[in-house]
């Protein structure tokens, strides 16, 4: 009995060696092989001479002018050559080590050659000789991912065998209603057309189906995971609501409605007997920290510990200050644990954490070391979550006694993507900035007007404000025309002639040095800070009103927006100047968009539409599923549709198709 789960060993020509080679490609069963789709197709249609580009692989058709000549050299090597006429032109044709083709090349007859075009020699380096009658219409040859031990041709042959023998076993996996709704071809037809399309059109139709199917199955799994989470019980975190209310009352400002709403989301999660798995999204400056503090206090009030992990020392330091200021009065015992924590202190902290003598620990990767234990960790918070890998997040989660995780991000992911990308999480969005927050005025300037920018900055500083200047690189390198932070620092210092207190901050500095500088900047002792992008996340100095970004075209929209978010944090009007001379249309477009909008979500949507910006707003971050045909960004519209379809489909979970799908996909339930 044949089965799609048969080992590829059953195919002709597959012995131990090929079995290994196929395994390296992730192929062990017939089914794997059938789903090993080509990643592109070679266009085998005949081309005109005037559309050729040097070194392109092309198909040419002509008449054989001269009898092929074979020359042998260097042992077994040989070269077959002849001249071919294409209209009025004469080109050379060479085949290396394929002298056996000679009998098929007859003077005066038509011939079709696929190979590499050599512009200088006006010759084609033949790779394949094609029988003319086969090449009358457009043809496409599949190109597969291969490795050293297995050739294209072998894969093609194996897929052919597999299709011929097993094709009839390919069962439909998509629900009937959806097949009908979209008029999809059957899976069987689609798989054949993915490998051996007769036309571009046919390939397109097959691919559409496969894209839909992949997204459908992905979305199905997400929904399933979410559903499971709601049925996995954990200890509720039972805090005293009156106390939390009292705490919120004494915060020195009124929470925005959005902050209230998401705080409620978090508290509700804590109280519920199901694990919290929530993503808190809020643009820079939207006030996520204070929201976190509410969750933190609730967990601690209920007798649990809380761990807050952040990607950088500076950010850890800053959260430590902010949260201590908010929570010390509440009797919360907080420690800071990073890689620069002194060994003796670290030892004490670890002991306190293990014995439950510390309530809140704020730290970097230092928190996920093996020797860090908690007495009863009840809430894990991960800030700038996309900066951490899946494993790192998991490591911290594993230390918890009660599995509640809150992820925070200032990377605004387009709404269209959020729901789907984080489908297994609940999502809370802070979509409102605190009252009285000024909109940062953004201007785009050419390098030539840098003096004007400096004069403007000086005026701001004279009014008591502070400024950031961002340069992308730290050391002057010859390959790169990026202005180094050091050179920028020197230029600015020359210009101001010592009238302004400046400092330079870069990634290669010692942590202590960085901290000293940031503390001095916070305290107002430093008026102007020249920095590399190390200040990117989290830095909060409300008195800073000027952000000048050099070589702005080098940054993605997401990063520019993050950097700009360092100003406009207080009540003063703030400014951002993008110094850039972009060469591409898209580069110019991006500068314009930055000047137009302060809304991270709008920017992320634009970024999505423009794509290729190099930073698809977190969409490329870890946690993305491995999809073969579909692309979550390119196919976002299909995905939208899929989400709706899955929702409807799941409404009826007595549906036989649903049960079948669940069974089939169940062992592949993990997403990343
Ligand atoms: P982010 O969301 O970027 O992490 P923060 O939590 O650092 O933002 O908050 C940015 C600044 O806004 C902080 O100085 C904070 O004290 C202040 N802030 C937060 N919420 C409010 C509010 N509701 N009203 C006024 N200021 C607020
Ligand atoms: Mg923050």
Residue 485 or residue 668, greater confidence: 485
Ligand 1 lined by 248 (C-beta under 6 Å): no
Q: Pairing relation of β-strands 77-86 and 69-73? A: antiparallel
Ligand 1 lined by 219 (C-beta under 6 Å): no
Is 123 strand, coil or helix?
Answer: strand
Report which DSSP code applies to 332: -
Residue 334 or residue 628, greater confidence: 334
Ligand 1 lined by 255 (C-beta under 6 Å): yes
| pLDDT band at 138; cut points 50, 70, 90 | low
Contact status, residue 278 vs residue 405, Cβ threshold 8 Å: yes
DSSP for 562-575, written as a single string: HHHTTSS-SSS--E
Ligand 1 lined by 363 (C-beta under 6 Å): no
What is the reported pLDDT for 318? 87
Contact status, residue 427 vs residue 279, Cβ threshold 8 Å: yes
Tokens of 364: 């970097």
Report which protein residue has its CA nearest ligand 1's atom 24.
434
Judgement on whether residues 257 and 162 belong to the same structural domain of the protein: no
Chain centroid to Cα 253, Å, comes to: 36
Mean pLDDT check: name the lowest of 177-191, 299-313, 502-516: 502-516
Judgement on whether residues 475 and 575 belong to the same structural domain of the protein: yes
Say which CATH number the domain at 380 has: 3.40.50.300
State in Å: Cα 259 to ligand 1 middle: 10
| pLDDT band at 217; cut points 50, 70, 90 | confident
What is the reported pLDDT for 666? 61
What is the reported pLDDT for 133? 58
Ligand 1 lined by 281 (C-beta under 6 Å): no
State in Å: Cα 284 to ligand 2 middle: 7
Strand segments, DSSP code E, in 2-159 are 40-43, 57-64, 69-73, 77-86, 89-96, 110-118, 123-130, 140-143
Q: Is the pLDDT of residue 437 over 50?
A: yes
| pLDDT band at 623; cut points 50, 70, 90 | very low
Q: Is the pLDDT of residue 277 over 90?
A: no
- Count Cβ neighbours within 10 Å for each residue of 579-617 and write b for 16 or more, e otherwise: bbebeeeebeebbebbeebbbbbebbbbbbeeeebebbb
Residue 186 lies in a domain: no
Residues 213-241, mean pLDDT to the nearest whole number: 83
Q: What burial class does residue 379 get, using C-beta atoms within 10 Å of its C-beta: 0-12 exposed, 13-18 middle, 19+ buried?
A: buried
Which one of 597, 629, 659 terminates a domain? 597
285 vs 439: CA distance, rounded Å: 11
Mean pLDDT check: name the lowest of 74-78, 86-90, 296-300: 74-78
21 vs 144: CA distance, rounded Å: 14
285 vs 432: CA distance, rounded Å: 10
Residues 441-454, mean pLDDT to the nearest whole number: 94
Give tens-digit pLDDT for 371-416.
Answer: 999 999 999 999 987 777 767 777 888 888 888 999 998 877 766 5
Judgement on whether residues 163 and 266 belong to the same structural domain of the protein: no
Q: Is the pLDDT of residue 342 over 70?
A: yes
**Backbone phi, then psi, for 231, in 5-degree steps?**
-115, 5
Judgement on whether residues 22 and 69 belong to the same structural domain of the protein: no
Mean pLDDT check: name the lowest of 366-380, 405-419, 517-531: 405-419
Say which CATH number the domain at 34 has: 1.10.150
Convert 357-382 into a string of H (helix), E (strand) and C (coil): CCCEEEECHHHHCCCCCCCCEEEEEE
State in Å: Cα 562 to ligand 2 middle: 11
Judgement on whether residues 392 and 455 belong to the same structural domain of the protein: no
What is the reported pLDDT for 432? 87
- Beta partners for residue 658, in sequence order: none
Residue 122 lies in a domain: yes
Judgement on whether residues 291 and 359 belong to the same structural domain of the protein: yes
Nearest to 224 by CA among 663, 535, 555, 527: 663
- Measured CA to CA in angstroms, residue 194 lies from 43, 189, 203, 629, 643 at distances of 15, 9, 6, 10, 25
Element holding 306 (H helix, E strand) = strand 305-309
Report which protein residue has its CA nearest ligand 1's atom 4.
288
State in Å: Cα 254 to ligand 1 middle: 11
- Name the average pLDDT for the chain: 86
Percentage of residues in the chain with pLDDT exceeding 90? 50
What is the reported pLDDT for 605? 75
What is the reported pLDDT for 394? 79
Judgement on whether residues 551 and 415 belong to the same structural domain of the protein: no
Judgement on whether residues 446 and 425 belong to the same structural domain of the protein: no
Residue 651 lies in a domain: no
Q: Give the ligand with the smallest distance to the CA of 257.
A: 1
374 vs 381: CA distance, rounded Å: 15
Ligand 1 lined by 570 (C-beta under 6 Å): no
Which residues constitute the domain of residue 538?
441-597
Residues near 115 by beta carbon (within 8 Å), at least 6 away in sequence: 57, 58, 60, 93, 124, 125, 126, 127, 128
Ligand 1 lined by 410 (C-beta under 6 Å): yes
Tokens of 476: 């002057």
517 vs 505: CA distance, rounded Å: 7
DSSP for 132-182, written as a single string: GGGGSS--EEEE---BTTB-HHHHHHHHHHHHHHHGGG----S-HHHHHHH
Ligand 1 lined by 308 (C-beta under 6 Å): no
Say which CATH number the domain at 62 has: 2.40.50.140
334 vs 321: CA distance, rounded Å: 10
Residue 249 lies in a domain: yes
Judgement on whether residues 297 and 373 belong to the same structural domain of the protein: yes
82 vs 259: CA distance, rounded Å: 77
Residue 470 lies in a domain: yes
Is 458 strand, coil or helix?
Answer: helix
Ligand 1 lined by 285 (C-beta under 6 Å): yes
State in Å: Cα 283 to ligand 2 middle: 9
Give tens-digit pLDDT for 535-548.
Answer: 655 578 899 999 99
Give tens-digit pLDDT for 1-39.
Answer: 889 999 999 999 999 999 999 998 889 999 999 999 988
**% helix, strand, coil for the chain, step of 5:** 45, 20, 40
CA 342, 348, 353, 358 torsion: positive or negative? Answer: negative
Residues 81-100, mean pLDDT to the nearest whole number: 92
Q: Is the pLDDT of residue 556 over 90?
A: no
Mean pLDDT check: name the lowest of 109-118, 222-231, 318-327, 620-629: 620-629
Judgement on whether residues 22 and 161 belong to the same structural domain of the protein: yes
What is the reported pLDDT for 113? 92
CA 34, 35, 36, 41 torsion: positive or negative? Answer: positive
Maximum average pLDDT range among 95-104, 133-142, 323-332, 581-590? 323-332
Q: Is the pLDDT of residue 422 over 70?
A: no
Residue 634 or residue 323, greater confidence: 323
Judgement on whether residues 345 and 482 belong to the same structural domain of the protein: no
Q: Please tell me the total count of domains within the chain.
A: 4
Residue 194 lies in a domain: no
Element holding 457 (H helix, E strand) = helix 450-462
Which one of 597, 630, 650 terminates a domain? 597
Percentage of residues in the chain with pLDDT exceeding 70? 90
Residues 42-52, mean pLDDT to the nearest whole number: 83
Residue 617 lies in a domain: no
597 vs 590: CA distance, rounded Å: 11
Tokens of 222: 């997400």
Residue 435 lies in a domain: no
Judgement on whether residues 417 and 362 belong to the same structural domain of the protein: yes
521 vs 370: CA distance, rounded Å: 35
Q: Is the pLDDT of residue 43 over 90?
A: no
Which one of 430, 451, 486 terminates a domain? 430
């Amino acid at each position: 009995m044949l089965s799609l789960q048969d080992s590829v060993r059953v195919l002709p020509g597959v012995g131990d060696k090929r079995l290994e080679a196929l395994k390296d490609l992730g192929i062990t069963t017939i089914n794997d092989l059938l789903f090993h789709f080509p990643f592109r197709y070679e266009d085998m249609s005949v081309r005109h001479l005037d559309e050729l580009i040097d070194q392109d692989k092309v198909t040419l058709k002509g008449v054989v002018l001269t009898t092929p000549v074979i020359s042998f050299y260097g042992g077994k090597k040989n070269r077959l050559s002849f001249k071919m006429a294409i209209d009025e032109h004469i080109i050379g044709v060479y085949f290396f080590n394929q002298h056996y083709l000679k009998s098929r090349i007859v003077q005066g007859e038509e011939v079709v050659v696929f190979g590499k075009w050599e512009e200088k020699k006006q010759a084609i380096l033949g790779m394949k000789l094609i029988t003319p009658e086969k090449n009358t219409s457009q043809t496409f040859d599949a190109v597969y991912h291969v490795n050293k031990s297995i050739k294209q041709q072998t894969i093609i042959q194996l897929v052919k065998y597999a299709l011929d023998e097993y094709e009839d076993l390919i069962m439909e996996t998509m629900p009937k209603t959806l097949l009908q709704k979209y008029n999809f071809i059957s899976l069987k037809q689609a798989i054949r057309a993915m490998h051996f399309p007769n036309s571009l059109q046919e390939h397109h139709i097959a691919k559409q189906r496969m894209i839909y199917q992949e997204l459908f199955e992905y979305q199905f799994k997400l929904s399933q995971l979410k559903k499971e989470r709601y049925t996995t019980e954990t200890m509720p975190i039972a805090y005293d609501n009156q106390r939390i209310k009292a705490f919120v009352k004494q915060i020195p400002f009124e929470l925005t409605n959005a902050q209230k709403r998401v705080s409620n989301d978090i508290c509700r999660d804590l109280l519920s007997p199901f694990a919290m798995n929530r993503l808190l999204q809020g643009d820079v400056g939207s006030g996520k920290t204070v929201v976190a503090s509410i969750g933190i206090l609730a967990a601690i009030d209920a007798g649990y510990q809380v761990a807050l992990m952040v990607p950088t020392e500076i950010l850890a330091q800053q959260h430590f200050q902010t949260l201590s200021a908010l929570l010390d009065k509440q009797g919360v015992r907080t420690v800071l644990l990073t890689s620069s924590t002194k060994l003796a202190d670290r030892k004490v902290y670890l002991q306190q954490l293990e014995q439950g003598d510390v309530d809140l620990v704020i730290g970097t990767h230092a928190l996920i070391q093996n020797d860090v234990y908690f007495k009863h960790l009840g809430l894990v918070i991960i800030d700038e979550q996309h900066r951490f890998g899946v494993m790192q997040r998991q490591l911290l989660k594993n230390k918890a006694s009660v599995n509640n995780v809150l992820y925070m991000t200032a990377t605004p992911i387009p709404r269209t993507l959020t729901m789907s990308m984080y489908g297994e999480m609940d999502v809370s969005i802070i979509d409102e900035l605190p009252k009285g927050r000024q909109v940062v005025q953004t201007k785009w300037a050419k390098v030539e007007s840098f003096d004007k920018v400096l004069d403007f900055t000086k005026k701001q500083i004279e009014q008591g404000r502070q400024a950031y200047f961002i340069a992308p690189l730290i050391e002057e390198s010859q390959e790169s025309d990026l202005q180094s932070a050091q050179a920028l620092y020197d230029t600015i210092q020359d210009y101001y002639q010592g009238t302004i207190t400046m400092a330079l901050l870069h990634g290669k500095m010692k942590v202590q040095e960085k901290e000293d500088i940031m503390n001095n900047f916070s305290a107002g002792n430093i008026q102007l800070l020249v920095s590399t992008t190390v200040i990117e996340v989290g830095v909060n100095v409300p008195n800073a009103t000027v952000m000048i970004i050099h070589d702005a075209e080098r940054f993605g929209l997401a990063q520019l927006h993050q950097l700009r978010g360092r100003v406009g944090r207080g009540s003063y009007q703030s400014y951002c100047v993008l110094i850039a001379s972009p060469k591409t249309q898209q580069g110019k477009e991006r500068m314009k968009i930055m000047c137009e909008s302060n809304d991270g979500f709008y920017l992320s949507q634009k970024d999505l539409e423009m794509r290729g910006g190099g930073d698809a707003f977190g969409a490329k971050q870890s946690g993305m599923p491995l999809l073969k045909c579909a692309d979550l960004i390119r196919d976002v519209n299909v995905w939208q549709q899929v989400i709706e379809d899955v929702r409807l489909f799941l409404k009826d979970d007595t549906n036989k198709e649903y049960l079948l799908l669940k069974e089939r996909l169940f062992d592949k339930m993990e997403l990343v």
